[in-house]
A and B are shown apart, each in its own frame.
Chain A
């Protein structure tokens, strides 16, 4: 039987097990949207901007481990995707994006809504395709799904000429995809494993830096087995948070620019540093030539190009970390390291002295909001954070329990990511509680998605941490630009009224004592819910490693000197 290109798109998605798609229609993609009527099992979520379709697909992918799919039109419908694709590319998130394109006869003619989309998206996709012949369509889609999820995942874009969507061919989904240029994860090399194990066995102060690769590779169990056998403490990158439970005695928390004193101290003092599924990004290493100065470095990584890219590596172990971690276990000796752990416990105790959330004072500060989010949900929710100060506070003060629990834009740092990605996470996990934790700046970048929440009935919960500033930039201005607050004070609308215009229940909280109740109310509400937290304005994220400084040269969290103020006891900020 012959099918149109448009029908073939949906047939292929059905074969790939896709049942949701985030999209926005337009001229050049109309035939494909039209054919969707014949495929009621695939649900189309209408977003309010194509960028948010990509973020939603990204949040869907990260929360479920499946491929997220978007559909949009040519020209602006495609260029609007770019930020979302770049976000997914940086954080290795599997997305397949379909875009419409002008008919093949008009290609290159500057036709209405024509853009060279494969050209524009080339650096921000893992691969992309322009389909000019309907006979290539099924093969292309099969390849795209394979490329998106295999190896180190990433976004793939398929640009569909309008006449391709309309022309007919016999549909046959390929049974076999052969891409000679795409290299599979190799079998773990036993020499590398032995060399790595020898370093680990002889180490006195080993430390693991675990990143997103552990989450993407579903390798948490393998990681736990290794660290428990050889007693190796773990520092996480931002995207690695949750790959082992925060309460695990060997979990030290996040390292790097806003890592705690104890984690960065451990990085600088360890003698063997084991990077697993991470890329030694500048936010984790700080000043490179002073990074982990006494350590030999082992790097477990799937993407060979990451080996030695930023940090010289003594022993590379190439492969999917689920395989390599399992394979190294027999080589690693069971060990206890009381001295090293004592040193770490002492650093942790020193870190705890400057804890601020436990203090009895009246100001509503963001760390307290994060802590209460955890308390009221008992840690049983997805948290999708946006980008900025609140993102770091969430990372520091919400003890992550499991992989995929935290979804955030790490590599690209895309403000506006939070709400649309939370929509994707909720769509992928309809029975789970999904919290978008966003700042007043990032929220206002994509708050049009309240419309999607309303229309598509996606019951996500939104916590806006409103401090009246683009807070992270303000913090840098305070610390490095003599407090010249250029362009950072930001006004907000009345969020309660805004939400109510969309039929979304909302409350605004400005007292510390109301935080817990507000969260409890939101958690138990059936539908979506929005809470605005009017927090103390000029609060900084500490600790902080200044750009260009070594990670142990941090601006530490101020000592919590509690002073008597007008409103009772206050910490000195």
Chain B
């Protein structure tokens, strides 16, 4: 079993996320995290999700998802060089002398303290999952009273952008059974 990072682009229309989650559920895919938001193109959302499963499961997840009418493209980023990040907000008990230890560790991890209360601190940390996990491990010694994580987002490294269109989108003329391509042919 391995964790696969998959990115999907979808039309920003009502119910699309429902279609995606319904598909994951009925095809029995193990989805560990799912993050969705705007992409560089208006009207197109970009979703990153993590499948916990074998090659067969991720292959099926990619192909079945690609069949949804509102999904314009699906790419498996697992084998590609990619920047993979996650964000977490962690509320840590930090009263008295423990406070300075938490502040110190936060510095070491290049995390930020975003809220301060009498007996606790809220720390914001971004980075690869492993770094966040290790920070959480340390913080749990002080007592984590609340936590939220976004799940992975990913972008490939190097030249070239991966955007929502993989190919020229075809047009279909209703009632005529004829095709037109967007380049006019």
Which A residues lie at the B interface, using CB under 8 A?
15-17, 118-119, 122-123, 126-127, 130, 142, 145-147, 150, 173-184, 303-305, 307-309
Cβ-defined contact, B171 with A178, below 8 A: yes
Cβ-defined contact, B22 with A150, below 8 A: no
Cβ-defined contact, B66 with A183, below 8 A: yes
Partner of A122, one of B22, B59, B165, B173: B22
Q: Which residue of A lies closest to B63 (CB)?
A: A305
Min CB–CB distance A119 → chain B (angstroms): 7
Min CB–CB distance B55 → chain A (angstroms): 10
Cβ-defined contact, B171 with A177, below 8 A: yes
Tell whether B70 is near chain A: CB-to-CB under 8 Å. Answer: yes
Cβ-defined contact, B11 with A173, below 8 A: no
Partner of B174, one of A15, A122, A307: A15
Knowing A176-B180, A308-B56, say if A181 contacts B10 (CB, 8 Å): yes
- Which residues of the other chain, B, contact A308 by a CB distance below 8 angstroms? 56, 59
Instruction: With A174-B174, A176-B180, A177-B171 given, name 17 new contacts (CB 8 A).
Output: A16-B174, A16-B175, A122-B18, A122-B19, A123-B26, A127-B68, A130-B14, A150-B172, A176-B172, A176-B173, A176-B174, A177-B174, A179-B172, A180-B11, A180-B72, A181-B11, A303-B67
Cβ-defined contact, A309 with B60, below 8 A: yes
Cβ-defined contact, A181 with B22, below 8 A: no
- Which residues of the other chain, B, contact A146 by a CB distance below 8 angstroms? 172, 174
- Which residues of the other chain, A, contact B66 by a CB distance below 8 angstroms? 183, 304-305
Tell whether B143 is near chain A: CB-to-CB under 8 Å. Answer: no
Q: Which residue of A lies closest to B55 (CB)?
A: A308
Cβ-defined contact, B175 with A173, below 8 A: yes
Give the CA-CA distance A122 to B182 in the complex, in Å: 30
Cβ-defined contact, A175 with B174, below 8 A: yes
Among all A-B residue pairs, the 6 with the closest Cβ atoms? A305-B63, A142-B174, A176-B171, A180-B169, A127-B69, A181-B72
Cβ-defined contact, A180 with B165, below 8 A: yes
Cβ < 8 Å to A, chain B residues 24-65 = 26, 56, 59-60, 63-64
Give the CA-CA distance A175 to B174 in the complex, in Å: 6
- Which residues of the other chain, B, contact A15 by a CB distance below 8 angstroms? 174-175
Cβ-defined contact, B171 with A147, below 8 A: no
A-B contact count (CB 8 A): 74
Give the CA-CA distance A146 to B64 in the complex, in Å: 19
Cβ-defined contact, B174 with A145, below 8 A: yes
> Which of A15, A16, A175 is the most central at the interface, judged by chain B CB atoms within 10 Å of its CB?
A175
- Which residues of the other chain, B, contact A182 by a CB distance below 8 angstroms? 69
- Which residues of the other chain, B, contact A142 by a CB distance below 8 angstroms? 174
Cβ-defined contact, B19 with A173, below 8 A: no
Give the CA-CA distance A182 to B67 in the complex, in Å: 7
Give the CA-CA distance A119 to B25 in the complex, in Å: 14
Tell whether B15 is near chain A: CB-to-CB under 8 Å. Answer: yes
Cβ-defined contact, A173 with B72, below 8 A: no
A-B contact pairs, 19 of them (CB 8 A): A15-B174, A15-B175, A126-B69, A142-B174, A173-B174, A176-B171, A176-B172, A176-B180, A177-B172, A177-B173, A178-B171, A180-B165, A180-B169, A181-B10, A181-B68, A184-B170, A303-B67, A304-B66, A307-B63
Give the CA-CA distance A142 to B172 in the complex, in Å: 9
Tell whether B71 is near chain A: CB-to-CB under 8 Å. Answer: yes
Min CB–CB distance B76 → chain A (angstroms): 14
Give the CA-CA distance A177 to B72 in the complex, in Å: 15
- Which residues of the other chain, A, contact B15 by a CB distance below 8 angstroms? 118, 130
- Which residues of the other chain, B, contact A174 by a CB distance below 8 angstroms? 174
- Which residues of the other chain, A, contact B173 by a CB distance below 8 angstroms? 175-177
Give the CA-CA distance A176 to B171 in the complex, in Å: 6
> Which of A126, A127, A145, A180 is the most central at the interface, judged by chain B CB atoms within 10 Å of its CB?
A180
> Which of A16, A119, A130, A182 is the most central at the interface, judged by chain B CB atoms within 10 Å of its CB?
A182
- Which residues of the other chain, B, contact A147 by a CB distance below 8 angstroms? 69
Cβ-defined contact, B71 with A178, below 8 A: no
Give the CA-CA distance A126 to B23 in the complex, in Å: 12
Give the CA-CA distance A180 to B11 in the complex, in Å: 9
Give the CA-CA distance A15 to B173 in the complex, in Å: 11
Min CB–CB distance B51 → chain A (angstroms): 15
Cβ < 8 Å to A, chain B residues 70-126 = 70-72
- Which residues of the other chain, A, contact B26 by a CB distance below 8 angstroms? 123
Give the CA-CA distance A181 to B73 in the complex, in Å: 7
Cβ < 8 Å to A, chain B residues 147-180 = 164-165, 167, 169-175, 179-180
Q: Which residue of A lies closest to B176 (CB)?
A: A175
Give the CA-CA distance A305 to B56 in the complex, in Å: 11
